[in-house]
Structure 1
């Protein structure tokens, strides 16, 4: 902040601004107040609209609700839009949303002032909240689409939008194929654009069951978080408010100083160009020829230099690069002498001495300001030298094996048993009803008597029937004129239910297991009684699906309980988790008539736990050699376990992939000494000459008028930080 801004404090006027979040079927409005450097949300409103509902009416309702706490004499006409990524293409608003925004602004007499993307606002919000630029994978969950935003050190590297399906894990796999990164952040943040957070925990648990260890782009299981539904409006207010504050400061400083040279003018434009904030004065952003609005950027004032031809980013280390404006008055630190109290000022040389004293006093004050007031932060960007090494390792529960053994890590088994119930709809179909019945006459063509047992099968008109009881039939006899067949009557029942087996009289029946040349039957009357209807029933697929779903849910809950059992310094081996079904009970058997089926299940989950210190010691032993000019950073050393096999004694044999990070040795005090009092270009040349530094940025905090291009002369007022990428 400029010294003139500090010295010439004005009365703090209240300023107000309106933000309108426009989505597929929802309008959100927020009215915020700026007082000095304080941003406060004073009102918010939300309204939904359907396919046939007026979007403008919904916007009017949302704005009216948000403006309830607005002073009566205040009218806000300028609006900043918050938009999801689905409406943005190549940094510009798509044509269809542009038409919608234009109608809203025209019908409600609003002037569009800029727009901000949802992921950028959320990134800035997290940076402000956590006091450090975030590195994460932001997943915005909409009704029809998922938006994946890859954020590194507060900057959005890539946005990917994919259609939403029923399986979130498959959507993740699909999105990861489109994200251009070899190593993904170990932090995933979920946000529901529908503001219905009740189902988010279910999605989070679904992601926790995903086998992250099988995905080479994740060095270990990522931390998965959920943002509150109210976060978006807060993020939009903070981001837009910060940009407005920056513009206000720029306007004040421009009135208090004039550039001393062409170079100063260029510097001012480079750092404080209005277009950086997404504002166009005296223009309608929706009337621009490109049909695009200006994008609002988060409030950062930095001088940024980047060197080229540096290696690809492997991982980020987040630091708090900004400390904010320092507002403590310098006058509180010094007591000024009273030159006019000296007696020698009463003689004839008084005018000259007063003049010389005034010059000396002014020079002293300027020297004090020049030494103590200016301050800046310099962030040096370095790239670690990463080495990877595979070593054999054994995880065992046998303490005796660890004595004298190399790369053997002692583990212990922890267990969690959990019970749960789940109800699901059935998908099977079956016929229920009554079988057809009737009477037949059986004929015996053989010369021997025959006994047919109960349930003997006959086939007539392609339908199967069975005898209701045992039947004895006499043999055929010779009458002299021919052979008289033995015969008897019997009652039969159809094997299957349904009216189809109500066959007509005169149908011939054959025995399934006997030749027709020996035995056959006929009916003299129509069969009757056969009826049927289709009902829901339990299928094997229904039982299998319900068992799989409930088993996965209980396993996920058991895992969470296992993690809660861990003490400080303990780590759970993801690959060692085993589940066992202790008992299961279905409310209905397969083929039973039912619309729903309930399963009661008991699952036991076992896992191996080890001390993280043991794995760290292994990494130390495997990294005994160091690179010249580099220092091993044990805090960034990453170990991934793969190629796991269990032997007969349940010992786990695996490969440990050790990724070691060697950081360049940088003498910060020496660099600080060399760049103090230098111009930015001189500092750039000094830092660029150091081969292990990949780039840097300078953040101006306090500076004097006419010396904006100089770093502080006082080394204590220069903060040095290493940014590891």
Structure 2
């Protein structure tokens, strides 16, 4: 937050004169102002990180309305805010470019500051503030925050306290699709750092209502995010309260304005310049001129009359608190003996009157001057001796040390093997076990097979034997009419033909017999008329023939639904898949309290039975089945042990793990490529480690050293992050620059 840091330093130097001159505002209070494209909100904040009051969210429509609504919002803060001019502006990202206020917005902010008599201490963006608020709560926070607007939203990815991504994403009709797009962009841009996402997602907005946010939260929570790369388990979507932004961002601004922070900032900036006071002021003044106005004004009320002419508050302030340079210097100089030093030119001199009382006192002092001097000197020396004895033997020194912390991270593949006798952490092999579950179920489907049913045509024929040999025809003899076949109803013998001598010459009487016949196939096409000629099997018509003597009738056909082989196969596969899905869900429900089940591809049909067979004329086919499903079982405790063993190899010397379980993020286990029961788990391990501080080794660095040298000696140690030396009582530090040599006088507090 570079803009806010620069403004804090400048504001601190100006306040030393400002509050001494006229006490124009409450020194410990400031106003935080959130400005968005159509919304604003304010809060009255104590620099000790206490929110005194905050307004409701105000909506404005144009520049004039912005002034009106901001004025009303400031009045909502109560009478305590009337005399507070210091403020911190918190801008939506749409107001900024590369961290600086847009030129078009600078004019708006300048107008607001002048019309409402505001003194800007600094600025920051909403997204910066959200990140700082998360880190204030937990320095190692890992979360995703969505700051929603009507047309777009900001996506913040925080891992281990670091802001890894801050994207602006346009909104479509579905927030879940927009979020997936943003996460995909983060994964692509960050590589390994963006491979896994935290499972905590927060929703916040200044423009959307809580009802609208709750609706978005319900839709997001309904999505199965575990099927999306990066989420190892279903994330929890939480809607932050409507007052979250104003409270959180105000507290962040308050922390940045705290005395400790400003002191550190001043020390860091002083070390940059060759002439600390002069150069720093010049540098900050240039930066300030490029940003927000910081003109000092006295504020009696935030209410303004927009219909009347504006009051020149500059003139009022200068008239009411005018004071010449010499007097101002004396008022604010703490080294002067009195607040205002009146010279002889200002007050006529008067010769003091002598009295008997004054004469007697002077005589007493002259007479006992030696005794009085000896007594005063002795008393003073006694006080010095007592003070030295107290410092040497009774005062104590507390050394507060914050040890260095490191976050250890490692990506690896873990093999879950149910065939192992025990785990082998050196090879990333983890023992697992196999579990079976039988699931019973029933399913049905509509049949799709098509079959023809109907009746066969029947009639009578007359067989002719044109040979001179008797002929027997079996019942399966085929009679053909075009492409239609008929069968004899029974076996029949036809007599041989006879030759006769007649007046006209020889004649032949063919042997013949009448017999019933039936069409070979069903269908109306077999209904043929009387006198139709039929071919007998494959014989020539010169040898055997047949003629219809009674019409063939009764032939018919129609299509019906029947069970096909495809129906049988499809229903078997369908029910098997359904039962397997039930088993997978049950294994998922049982995966809790540190126990995990991962179904394998191995399943077996224990029993199945159809209610119909292939070719049966039915509309519906049903199937009962019992399916055995297999899963690999493993324990979170085993994974934690493996994580500790692996991270222990990377633990720096003289470091130890903090008393917290290592963090383990992983994808869903996948079957190994060798078609065995083994599973492969891609995991990201992380744990916090803290340096081990040896108090005895530190004593030689501070005993008998002056304060600055002792602190520098400690801070140069790689295992130490921060050092604070506290002398009790506190005034000892102003009188003595060296620490005692007695190690018993030191009390080490190691965090």
TM-score, normalised with respect to structure 1: 0.49
Higher relative contact order (CA 8 A, sep 6+): 1
TM-score, normalised with respect to structure 2: 0.48
Q: Which has the higher helix share?
A: 2
Larger Rg, first or second structure (1 or 2): 2
